[in-house]
Structure 1
Amino acid sequence: MTGPTTPADGPSTNGPSAARVADSVVLAVDSGGSGLRVAVGTVARGMVGQRASREPVRTGSRGIDAGHLLDQLLPLTRALLAEAGLPAPAAAAVGAAGLATLGDALRAELPGALRRELGVRRVALAADAVTAYAGALGARPGAVIAAGTGLIAVGTDLTAWRRADGWGHLLGDCGSGAWIGRAGLEAALRAHDGRPGGSAALLACAEKVFGPATGLPGALYPRPDRPAVLASFAPQVAACAADGDPVAAGVLREAARHIADSAAAVCPPGGEPYVALTGGLFRTGEPLLVPLEEELAARLPYARRVPAEGDPLHGAVRIARALAAGTLTLPADGTMLQVVDAPRT
């Protein structure tokens, strides 16, 4: 996972000191709703090994559970370093879902633990939206919409970060997989009741997936993974739209408007910023992408739409390499991206 070189990717100078920097080992971590991914590599080579745990890091009364993250991270990292024959990492980048609002304990505990257990000297702690941005665009000004079960938009002019949405399925995540799935199921229940705005096609899909419509509340409300269950219906909405169902198509057009709203809220207003999409939601295909491209063109006519170069783990690798090389140009702040010199313990 090397990708196109950007200012966030490493040094371009020559000489003995540059050679030492190029050999510096880096650690990259992506902690999200589907588990934990870990990569090791060097400044010059990028990622050389990767492992994953499918167990999401817990959150509790103190926010993200640093101990639980370390319990998974340390054995994976030690195994990767041993397999690759690499020494202790000089720098690490940890991207974590919820860091901006639930990351106080992680910020307090992780840098010291990484220094003590692995010898890491510098640590970048990043919100998962920042690693998604770095993976998609590197160190270029613009906006990235990261969408799957949830949705968040993040943008930067390389002096500060802006974010929009990412408030969860009860308060926001408008246009996300959970939002589309919920809107599709609402249309199904409207058809069941005989109310306006219903879709017989979506009702048939809902009953095929979840059983009789009258059982939907019991199937959804008690579930602790309710956002993921709602998002699992989004592909059915896209399939109905592709088959010509106007209600399903309308749901996706409205989702596209919400996504474009978030992109416009964070995109730098001047110059020629880049805009990229990343995340599993955009695999739903043309029923969402066609109206979304129309909305983005109308809202951000001065921006350049480009494909995402990589995913959040790719972004963590880029940040770690730049941190080790002293070339990190993405803006730091107290919540979205924070660089810490790990204390000696």
Structure 2
Amino acid sequence: MTPGAGSWVVGVDSGGSGLRVALAEVTARGPGPAETAVSRTPVRTGEAGIDARHLLEQLLPMVHGLRGRGGAGGARPVAAVAVGAAGMATLGGQLRAELPGALEEALGIRGLALAADAVTAYAGALGQRPGAVVAAGTGMVAVGTDLTEWRRADGWGHLLGDCGGGAWLGRAGLEAALRAHDGRRGGSAALLAAAEGVFGPPAGLPGQLYPRTDRPAVLASFAPEVARCAAEGDPVATGILAEAARRIADAAEAVCPREAGREVDVALTGGLLRIGDPLLVPLLGELTDRLPGARVVPPAGDPLSGALSIAAALATGSLRLPGDPAMLHLAGPDGAV
């Protein structure tokens, strides 16, 4: 029997829209069918980073509820937990300091992984093999590994980066709309009409955007309009999407491992990809030109399934993804870096 098989593991996906938790039994092939729970309350972030106490206040009742659902988990302890959180790399200090002891006391766990959400996205998409994953949603980040170290590109937020992501794309579309409004070169009448349809008169745009704490999401809400204008033949919108494809490909190229004589898989994930061919066609073209040894594959799963797979690998001693203080921090008796 595979070591750890039959035990229970927990995967956690914490992001801007809330907290998702999954409980599954470990099988010889990894985690089995999962019971899941969702909280729509995002974990708070303060001066000390991601608030460990607020995460625990939500997580522990959700885990206890899942263990009691239909007898799942029963009285058996949870063997391992993997938490994937947005901002873990730069804001996860409190989680790394407080969660190992708190979860060992509350759940009796013997393995804990604290991962950047890009790492759980990677594990969900590609599992434990070399490659690269692009996560393009409101923001944009790429991660890759050759199974000895992690490489990360972009993910610097909407003011400093996230180039090609939804907020970047929406902002570029609104800038082109305002150029048309002003009579400056490079404007788009089609994008101006779209902006007026979504936000109203252009003069009101600064007031709708600058005071908002959710400014990236508001900007990203205009990205589908840019794609629609491009699909209808607007050359400015088409050019913006081509530039977004180049920026995303820049990040993928920077992190993709180069393995001589071996194809490397690249997975594209994230909600931005739902805008379809106006972005995907130029992006796939860029990746083909830049990474001739790479194979673009559909993601096998999402970040929550990635967190579960990491927890199962911890429980069975089969984790191959490299530990890293910021990207994948392993703690507890069965997994200290």
Sort the TM-score into its range (normalised by shorter chain): over 0.9
Q: Contact 1:120 / 1:342 at 8 angstroms: preserved in 2?
A: no
Residue 56 of structure 1: CA displacement? Answer: 1.1
The residue that corresponds to 2:52 in the other structure is 66
Q: 1:338 is matched with which residue: 298, 304, 329?
A: 329
Contact 1:138/1:315 (<8 A) preserved: yes
Residue in structure 1 matched with residue 202 of structure 2 by the alignment:
213
Provide the rounded CA distance (Å) in 2 between the counterparts of 1:89 and 1:74: 12
SS in 1 for 2:159: coil
Q: Secondary structure at the match of 1:57?
A: coil
Aligned residue number for residue 212 of structure 2:
223
1:1-345 aligned at under 5 Å gives the runs 14=1, 18=2, 21-44=4-27, 45-85=31-71, 86=73, 87-270=76-259, 271-341=262-332
In structure 2, runs of 5+ residues without a counterpart are: none
Amino acid at match of 2:216: P
Q: Aligned-pair distance for 1:263?
A: 0.2
String of CA shifts for 1:224-244, please: whole Å, max 9, x gaps. Answer: 000000001001111111111
Task: For 2:264, give the aligned amino acid.
Answer: P
> What's the CA shift for 1:116?
1.2
1: CA distance, partners of 2:70 / 2:96: 28
Kindly indicate whether the alpha-carbon contact (under 8 Å) linking 1:24 and 1:90 is maintained by their aligned counterparts in 2.
yes
1:143–1:263 contact (8 Å) kept in structure 2? yes
- TM-score, with length taken from structure 1: 0.93
TM-score normalized by the length of structure 2: 0.95
Q: Do the aligned partners of 1:126 and 1:336 also contact (CA within 8 Å) in 2? A: yes
> Are the counterparts in 2 of residues 114 and 342 from structure 1 also a CA contact under 8 Å?
no
1:60-89 C-alpha deviation (Å, 9 max, x unpaired): 110010011111111111100110421321
**Helix, strand or coil for the counterpart of 1:249?**
helix
Whichever residue aligns with residue 234 of structure 1, its letter is: A
Which digits, 9 at most, give the CA deviation of each residue in 1:31-54, with x for residues without a partner?
A: 011111000001115242001111
**Alpha-carbon distance between aligned partners in 1 of 2:23 and 2:33, rounded to the nearest angstrom:** 6
Using the TM superposition, name which of 241-250 and 82-91 deviates more.
82-91
Question: Kindly, what percent of the aligned residue pairs are identical?
Answer: 69
Opposite residue 317 of structure 1, the aligned amino acid is L
1:10 aligned partner: none
Tell whether the 8 Å contact from 1:47 to 1:317 is kept in structure 2 after alignment.
no
> 3-state DSSP class of the match of 1:107?
helix
Aligned to 2:268, the other structure's residue is in SS state: strand
Query: Which runs of structure 1 show a deviation greater than 2 angstroms over 4 or more consecutive aligned residues?
Result: 45-48
> Once the 2 structures are TM-superposed, how far is the Cα of residue 342 of structure 1 from its aligned partner?
5.9
Return 5+ residue gaps in structure 1 as ranges: 1-13
**Distance apart, 1:310 and its partner CA:** 0.7
1:277-298 superposed Cα distances (whole Å, 9 cap, x missing partner): 0110111100000000000001
- The whole-number CA distance in structure 2 between the counterparts of 1:40 and 1:255 is 37
Pairwise CA distance, 1:58: 1.0
Residue deviations 1:186-245 (CA, integer Å, cap 9, x gap):
000001001111111111111111110010000100000000000010011111111111
Give the AA of the match of 1:288. L
